[in-house]
Chains A and B, each alone.
Chain A
Amino acid sequence: MLKAIIAFGSKEVSDEQLTDALWPEADGDVASLSFRTTLHRLRQLIGQEGAIELKEGRITLSPLYCWVDAWAFQRLEEKSEELWKDYRTNHRIKSDTAGIPELIKAYENAVDIYRGEFLPGDHKLSWTISMRERLKSKFIRLIGRLASYYEQGGQWERVVECHERALEVDDLQEEFYRRLMLAFHKIGKNAEALATYERCRKILSLVLGTEPSPETEALRNKIRNSK
């Protein structure tokens, strides 16, 4: 039940939504009894009555008693998005770099707290999909932007770290392989750059049945010829 409350957003989740998710086969009375019993047990387990508020058939996980990493990630993601929009609006001149350190810090804080998929052991539960995919997509966007700022600053070792992490989350994003190849090349690790190309080629062939894009091939040739 706790997982479901968090998966549905933790705030004013309807009892109907929870019973539909947790006891889809149960009829009204049985589902209602299961809901009340499970809620009671969950409150006992947590040991704080106020941790889970039930008001007019809606459940809220109280932030006064609970800390959830998924919430923390989303808060930090929102903060970094606000900073990014503010930066884009107010700093249109490329040479104006004021605000970038704060923006990078916000991105770093957000990506640091993402420790992998939301409820990774519960893939088969359809109600976990939405939250899992939302968090994952936010992470991919954040780490891509963070890597861009490192690229602009020539911090290639950090670019490598970012793209390795991004590929751990989604190993079919060809752009990340390409940017990783470039980062290795920039720090003189051409063998690693070419190994990254091979990794990309194999995974695209195995999973998608396609070849790397002309852009990736061109980068590979450039790196190979620069030896």
Chain B
Amino acid sequence: MRNFIVRIYRYEKDNPQKIVGVVEEPEIEGKRAFINLDELWGILNPMSRGETILGNDDNPEQ
């Protein structure tokens, strides 16, 4: 079983799609950022889309 910590730092009451935060996976070093619900879903379900590592310049999601 994989464990995730989801930290939400920004959200818009009128637009639930728009949330900003990071996902941490304690077993793995590093964080992955998301800027909307789809990206969060993509991180939590890596099979649904390509994974990107946060903090790297080659992160196409940022």
Using a CB–CB cutoff of 8 Å, the interface residues on chain A facing chain B are 123-124, 126, 129, 133, 170, 172-174, 206-210, 213
Asked if B9 and A174 make an inter-chain contact with CB atoms under 8 angstroms apart, the answer reads yes
Asked if B5 and A209 make an inter-chain contact with CB atoms under 8 angstroms apart, the answer reads no
Using a CB–CB cutoff of 8 Å, the interface residues on chain B facing chain A are 3, 5, 7, 9-10, 20-22, 26-27, 31, 33, 35, 54-55, 59, 61-62
Q: How far is the CB of A123 from chain B (nearest CB, A)?
A: 5
Question: Complex Cα distance A144/B9, Å?
Answer: 15
Question: Complex Cα distance A133/B5, Å?
Answer: 9
Q: A124-B27, A208-B22, A209-B61 are known; give 9 further A-B pairs, CB within 8 A.
A: A123-B26, A126-B26, A129-B3, A133-B5, A170-B7, A173-B9, A207-B22, A209-B62, A210-B10
Q: How far is the CB of B12 from chain A (nearest CB, A)?
A: 11
For A213, list chain B residues within 8 Å (CB). Answer: 10
Question: Complex Cα distance A93/B22, Å?
Answer: 39
Asked if B27 and A126 make an inter-chain contact with CB atoms under 8 angstroms apart, the answer reads yes
For B62, list chain A residues within 8 Å (CB). Answer: 209
Asked if B9 and A208 make an inter-chain contact with CB atoms under 8 angstroms apart, the answer reads yes
Given A172-B7, A173-B9, CB of A208 within 8 Å of CB of B26: no
A-B contact pairs, 25 of them (CB 8 A): A124-B26, A124-B27, A126-B26, A126-B27, A170-B7, A172-B7, A172-B9, A172-B22, A173-B9, A174-B10, A206-B55, A207-B22, A207-B31, A207-B33, A207-B54, A207-B55, A208-B9, A208-B20, A208-B21, A208-B33, A208-B35, A209-B33, A209-B59, A209-B61, A213-B10
Asked if B3 and A126 make an inter-chain contact with CB atoms under 8 angstroms apart, the answer reads yes
Question: Complex Cα distance A126/B7, Å?
Answer: 17
Question: Complex Cα distance A196/B54, Å?
Answer: 23
Question: Complex Cα distance A174/B11, Å?
Answer: 13
Closest A-chain residue to B1, C-beta based?
A: A126
Question: Complex Cα distance A129/B61, Å?
Answer: 28
Asked if A129 and B33 make an inter-chain contact with CB atoms under 8 angstroms apart, the answer reads no
For A170, list chain B residues within 8 Å (CB). Answer: 7
Q: How far is the CB of B38 from chain A (nearest CB, A)?
A: 15
Q: How far is the CB of A205 from chain B (nearest CB, A)?
A: 9
Most chain A CB within a 10 A radius of its CB, from B9, B10, B21, B31: B9
